[in-house]
Structure 1
Amino acid sequence: MKRLVSIDIAKAICIILVVIGHYHPDNAPQWYHITWEIIYSFHMPLFFFASGYIYIATRKETDTYIKPVLKKIKRLLIPYFSTSFIIITLKLLSERNLSVENPVSYKAYLEVFCYPSAGVFLWFVWVLFTIFLIIPLFKTPHQRLFLFGVSLLLYYLPGSFDPIFCLDKFKIMFIYFCLGTVVKDYSKYLKSIISINPVLPVLLFTAALFLKFHLRGSLEFLVDMITAVAGTYAVCSLSLFINKKGGYIKTALISTSFYIFIIYLFHTTFEGLGKAILQKTGFTETFNNLYFTINAFIIITIGIIGPILLQKYILTHSRITRFLFGIK
């Protein structure tokens, strides 16, 4: 199967932003708080957009409903439960000797079957799996365009859903997955927009950010969507540009793309380990701008490199661990 290199690059950029975004201490400098807000304005919508695009690009017309669902149970749910049990166990074992963010109790072992109790960030898995229970039922581009309309109505439906199975997040994120399917379905009509030089999309994203930071209240929900779509558009255009230009950045991002899911599952664990070690050494006691930057770089790097090394040198060498963590 031919890889979607530009989408791989976009997803690699996104997972790096996820790792950065999940390191956000209260005493961080103002520039980092602003960076965090920018990242959170679009990075998860980008993930869902890319997932929808890839789904259409790789789906087989002959697949029954059951086959893709079983595939996602293997690819998403089994790694989710495996990771959740490991994270909960590590937290329970280490909380006496190390500083543990978001501590858990033994009750979390049962809660993971309904909520992402091991780590809030795992809501992504529940939402994506829920989407894959729905999307195979819509087999044609016209049906998926209709579903996109439904997702738009769902997004603007007043109120929120119950957090069980992360349905509250599903309500907000479903539209971006559907947008990805529609863009791929009608890509021949959108080619001139998709392949545009990244300068204009970046400018559009900058304008959307200006609106987001200055328009609050009743228009905030609309501006949030505009910003998310503009940010997704900017990163996808930038990814196409990187793919065409080649070089070390392209190589590094493509290499990272092979480990995206394991980075997502374990980055907070490795970030937590990095933070605990730095706190033990006293490195963070003088938390000025320079120390913060060095501290952030170390922790974010550990959050990216740690899971890559875990998959490359440990998880891939056993049939059991490959099964438990969805590694092909």
Structure 2
Amino acid sequence: MAMTADRHATRERLSDIDLAKGVAIFLVVLGHVVAREPPVGNEWYVGLKFAVYQFHMPFFMFLSGAVFRATRPAAAGLRGYGPFVLGRLRRLAPGFALFALLIWAGKAVASRVIHVDNPQSADLASLARIFTHPGASAATSLWYVYVLLELSLLFPLLLAAFRGRALPVLVVAAALHALPLGFALPELFALDLLCEHALWFALGLLAIDHRRACVGAVAANALPFYLGFGLSFLALLWLPDHAAKTIIGLASLPAVYAFANSFAAVRDRRGLLLLGEYTFTVYLMNTLAIGLAKGVLLEVLPWDHANFALYFPLLLAAGLLGPIALHRAVLSRQPLLARITK
């Protein structure tokens, strides 16, 4: 009965999850400020990005699983699966396809005029690779949307097989997550990324099923969770990369959630809630905004050494605020574009 009450509560928009989404998308954009070769003399950013990449997508996928569980009836089973599939395709596929094509074409054209990270030739092979190998393509920054769609279509089937119970689904997801320890998984259709991130998505389901207990535990033990998260990075010294990243990812879930919900000032919460509201918008467009801003700035001054102190906040702001401004000023006025970009 308690689970039912928890699930019912999550059907309303939950500010705690929106705050966490705000932190998650901030971390994503932070990692996208430098896409390829880092600016000379700024090893601090290289280290920061490496640390962020150990946990930011596990946390992002965890939140995606939580939202999935909170918004889909627990007893749905296979009933309505067809309409659900169509709904997810309409929700995710157009945005992925549109901005993947824009990135592909934009890199091919803009590289003739300004500096472009990971320039691409405008051939059909590189275009097809976006849809067959999204994690290793011109639009590699959008792989999350591709994998989120796959997980959204897979998990209803797993839940139906286990009569809606999240725990057996978590066991299956953990087995998929462990595969890279013994096998080299194919990049085709992002199968490697699907297996890696199924665990985090499944943990999001379980967290929603036991939301009150989870929120209470995090609120009462924030400091130990912060400490455990910091210590988890020691795993990088002794364990294989995949195993170490798993430990860091697990430790990050309560710690980053606690951090996101620790802000008391209305202004701070308002900023995170805004990012949480526009998470999908920012994810789709941030690399385009950062790339454009960087290309223009490089026409004026190099970004190496001390100059990166100017580049860093400007590119971060471009990636976070540029997509929101574009959506509010332009895209929101076009119903179709408004729907597929937010």
Normalising by structure 2, report the TM-score.
Answer: 0.87
Within the alignment, does 1:259 sit opposite 2:278 as a pair?
yes
CA shift for structure 1 position 203: 0.9
Which digits, 9 at most, give the CA deviation of each residue in 1:275-310, with x for residues without a partner?
A: 1111100243xx22x422221111111111111111
2:80 and 2:218 map into 1 onto residues whose CA distance is: 31
2:138 to 102, 118, 123: 118
Conserved in 2, the CA contact under 8 Å of 1:57 and 1:184?
yes
Conserved in 2, the CA contact under 8 Å of 1:195 and 1:240?
no
Amino acid at match of 2:144: F
CA shift for structure 1 position 30: 2.4
Within the alignment, does 1:163 sit opposite 2:181 as a pair?
no
Within the alignment, does 1:205 sit opposite 2:243 as a pair?
no
Instruction: Classify the secondary structure of the residue corresponding to 1:68.
Output: helix
Amino acid at match of 2:109: L
1:81 to 90, 93, 97: 97
Conserved in 2, the CA contact under 8 Å of 1:98 and 1:276?
yes
2:336 and 2:17 map into 1 onto residues whose CA distance is: 29
1:87 and 1:174 map into 2 onto residues whose CA distance is: 27
Farther-moved stretch of structure 1 (54-63 vs 165-174): 54-63
Amino acid at match of 2:177: Y
Partner of residue 219, structure 2 = 195
Partner of residue 8, structure 2 = none
Amino acid at match of 1:132: S
1:310 and 1:142 map into 2 onto residues whose CA distance is: 40
CA shift for structure 1 position 70: 1.5
Amino acid at match of 1:130: E
Conserved in 2, the CA contact under 8 Å of 1:160 and 1:171?
no
Conserved in 1, the CA contact under 8 Å of 2:130 and 2:139?
no
CA shift for structure 1 position 21: 0.6
Counterparts in 2 of 1:142 and 1:194: CA distance versus 1, 3 Å: farther
2:69 to 32, 42, 56: 56
* Number of residue pairs matched by the alignment: 318
Conserved in 2, the CA contact under 8 Å of 1:208 and 1:226?
yes
Conserved in 2, the CA contact under 8 Å of 1:85 and 1:118?
no
Identity of aligned residues (%): 27
Counterparts in 2 of 1:119 and 1:28: CA distance versus 1, 3 Å: farther
Which digits, 9 at most, give the CA deviation of each residue in 1:228-261, with x for residues without a partner?
A: 111222111122323xx24211011101212111
Within the alignment, does 1:317 sit opposite 2:339 as a pair?
no
CA shift for structure 1 position 28: 5.0
Within the alignment, does 1:270 sit opposite 2:294 as a pair?
no
1:109 to 98, 115, 127: 127
Counterparts in 2 of 1:142 and 1:205: CA distance versus 1, 3 Å: same
Conserved in 2, the CA contact under 8 Å of 1:84 and 1:119?
yes
CA shift for structure 1 position 189: 4.2
Instruction: Classify the secondary structure of the residue corresponding to 2:51.
Output: helix
Instruction: Classify the secondary structure of the residue corresponding to 2:165.
Output: helix
Farther-moved stretch of structure 1 (163-172 vs 131-140): 131-140
Counterparts in 2 of 1:147 and 1:276: CA distance versus 1, 3 Å: same
Question: Over aligned residues, Cα RMSD in angstroms?
Answer: 1.9
Conserved in 2, the CA contact under 8 Å of 1:72 and 1:132?
yes
Amino acid at match of 1:50: L
1:103 and 1:223 map into 2 onto residues whose CA distance is: 32
Structure 2 residue runs without a partner (length 5+): 1-10
2:12 and 2:169 map into 1 onto residues whose CA distance is: 27
Which digits, 9 at most, give the CA deviation of each residue in 1:132-186, with x for residues without a partner?
A: 1111121578632111101111111221321122111111111000011011112
Which digits, 9 at most, give the CA deviation of each residue in 1:50-69, with x for residues without a partner?
A: 01111111213456112222
Conserved in 2, the CA contact under 8 Å of 1:99 and 1:276?
yes
Partner of residue 43, structure 1 = 56
Amino acid at match of 2:106: L
* 1:127-206 equivalence runs, <5 A: 127-137=147-157, 138-139=159-160, 143-157=165-179, 158-206=182-230
Conserved in 2, the CA contact under 8 Å of 1:196 and 1:237?
no
